[in-house]
């Protein structure tokens, strides 16, 4: 069996990125080699992550490192027909939640880092995010449009409690009344109900809580530093009670592992007050396939082959099908079955699709009082 990850981490593997020409190869990561790499593996005690995750199992924890990101632009655009938004902003690169399946992991390879442990332990912080956002929204060339917060990594990962970069960005968006669509796995989003509520009053805000499973034991090993499922459902309820359109994103559906939970997740979300729902199928781009395979071998060896076979089935025989129209939902009979289950369950629960947000209230604030 592959060695366990450090406490509170999704994976112990840290393979070289696909752009690196030199790689350090180890023939064996078990036994003494593993003990040397992670001293103190026999130490007891429990460590509790920011969102309440129990990290008492596995080798000693690896400290998170933070780096200042000197990006000069904060808004990213795309023209993908598979994505529901054309513009997004990400206050962070990398994500401490440690979700093993995260499609954003390979983005760290552009920084010369690994999609494995580096992604969840080396976080890049855009300290000027709000300042850059204000400058871009103030440009005459800016056309008001919904901004996704965020499209790559979670805007409410643990360090946001201290840094408040996401809240600062929301304050700018509220000032400009520019619509924003938030997606997160953290209950911390309720902290910003005041700003989200102000935008929602103009039809310019929505929040989707991403829920992959209601099984807390599975969540602990698959999303080690994300909020517990119950806390995410409470966040939906609190946002909805304050007039912020809140919904659920089943992201991702893991074929052969979490797909049977779709009706239960939607039912629980509806009871919490969810007004909309969506889902995406698991996708494993670039080096994410081997990382996920190793995770299955570590935690679900008896189901490994079944899960990988299902992933290949919806991916046209591959672990990742990058073609437009296929990569988000998959294709084939099994993908159609998942789509039908989702559609029938949302209909039964009375949950609709994602709301359309309005740009009608957008304005560029000015310090000069208006005469009329």
pLDDT of amino acid 236: 98
- In this prediction, residues 311-329 reach a mean pLDDT of 83
Q: Please report how the helices 229-241 and 193-200 are oriented relative to each other, as an axis angle in degrees rounded to 10.
A: 50
Query: Are the C-beta atoms of residues 120 and 97 closer than 8 Å to each other?
Result: yes
**E strands along the chain, which residues?**
65-68, 75-77, 87-89, 92-93, 122-125, 147-149, 180-184, 205-210, 246-253, 276-281
Distance of alpha carbon 92 from alpha carbon 111, whole angstroms: 13
Q: Of 187, 110, 189, whose CA–CA distance to 152 is shortest?
A: 110
Q: 188 or 25: whose pLDDT is higher?
A: 188
Q: How confident is the model at residue 20 (pLDDT cuts 50, 70, 90)?
A: confident
Residue range 116-151, pLDDT digits in tens: 999 999 999 999 999 999 999 999 999 999 999 988
Asked if pLDDT for residue 166 goes beyond 80, the answer is: yes
Q: What is the CATH number of domain 46-349?
A: 3.80.30.30
The mean pLDDT value for 274-279 works out to 97
What is the mean predicted confidence (pLDDT) over 173-193? 98
Residue 299 confidence (pLDDT) above 90: yes
**Segments making up each domain of the chain, as ranges:** 46-349
Cα-flanking dihedrals φ and ψ of residue 75, to 5°?
A: -95, 130
Q: How far apart are CA 221 and CA 9, in angstroms?
A: 8
Q: So what's the pLDDT on residue 49?
A: 36
**Cα 295 to Cα 350: distance, rounded to the nearest angstrom:** 36
- pLDDT tens-digit map of 207-238: 999 999 999 999 999 999 999 999 999 999 99
pLDDT band at 86 (very low <50, low <70, confident <90, very high): confident
Note the pLDDT tens digit of each residue in 96-118. 999 999 999 999 999 999 999 99
In whole angstroms, how far apart are CA 330 and each of 33, 252, 315, 326?
39, 12, 6, 5
pLDDT, residue 368, reads: 46
Residue 316: which pLDDT band, with cuts at 50, 70 and 90? Answer: confident
In percent, how much of the chain has pLDDT > 70? 86
Instruction: Read off the pLDDT band of 180 (50, 70, 90).
Output: very high
Across the range 307-329, mean pLDDT stands at 86
Tens of pLDDT along 333-355? 999 999 999 999 999 999 998 89
Structural contact between residues 64 and 142, judged by C-beta atoms closer than 8 angstroms: no
Residues in CB range of 300: below 8 A, 6 or more apart: 257, 307
């Amino acid at each position: 069996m592959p060695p366990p990850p450090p406490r509170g981490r999704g994976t112990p593997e840290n393979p070289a990125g696909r752009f690196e020409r030199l790689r350090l190869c180890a023939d064996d990561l078990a036994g003494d080699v593993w003990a040397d790499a992670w001293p103190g593996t026999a130490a007891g005690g429990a460590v509790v992550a920011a969102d309440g995750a129990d990290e008492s199992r596995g080798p000693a924890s690896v400290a998170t490192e933070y780096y200042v990101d000197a990006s000069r632009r904060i808004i990213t655009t795309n023209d993908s027909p598979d994505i529901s938004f054309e513009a997004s902003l990400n206050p962070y690169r990398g994500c401490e939640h440690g979700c093993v399946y995260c499609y954003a992991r390979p983005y760290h390879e552009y920084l010369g880092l690994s999609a494995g442990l580096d992604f969840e332990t080396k976080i890049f912080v855009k300290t000027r995010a709000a300042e850059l956002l204000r400058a871009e929204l103030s440009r005459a060339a800016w056309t008001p449009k919904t901004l996704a917060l965020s499209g790559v990594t979670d805007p409410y990962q643990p360090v946001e409690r201290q840094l408040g970069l996401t809240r600062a960005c929301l304050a700018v968006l509220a000032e400009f009344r520019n619509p924003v669509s938030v997606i997160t796995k953290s209950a911390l989003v309720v902290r910003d109900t005041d700003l989200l509520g102000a935008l929602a009053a103009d039809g310019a805000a929505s929040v989707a809580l991403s829920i992959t499973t209601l099984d807390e034991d599975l969540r602990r090993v698959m999303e080690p530093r994300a909020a517990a499922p119950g806390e995410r459902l409470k966040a939906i309820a609190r946002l909805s009670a304050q007039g912020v359109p809140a919904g659920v994103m089943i992201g991702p559906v893991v074929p052969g592992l979490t797909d049977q939970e779709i009706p239960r997740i939607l039912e629980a979300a509806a009871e919490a007050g969810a007004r909309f729902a969506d889902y995406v199928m698991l996708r494993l781009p670039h080096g994410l396939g081997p990382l996920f395979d190793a995770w299955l071998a570590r935690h679900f060896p008896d189901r490994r082959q079944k899960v990988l076979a299902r992933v290949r089935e919806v991916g046209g025989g591959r672990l990742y099908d990058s073609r437009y129209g296929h990569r988000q939902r998959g294709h084939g009979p099994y993908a159609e079955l998942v789509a039908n289950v989702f559609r029938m369950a949302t209909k039964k629960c009375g949950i609709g699709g994602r709301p359309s947000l309005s740009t009608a209230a957008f304005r560029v604030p000015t310090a000069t009082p208006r005469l009329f």
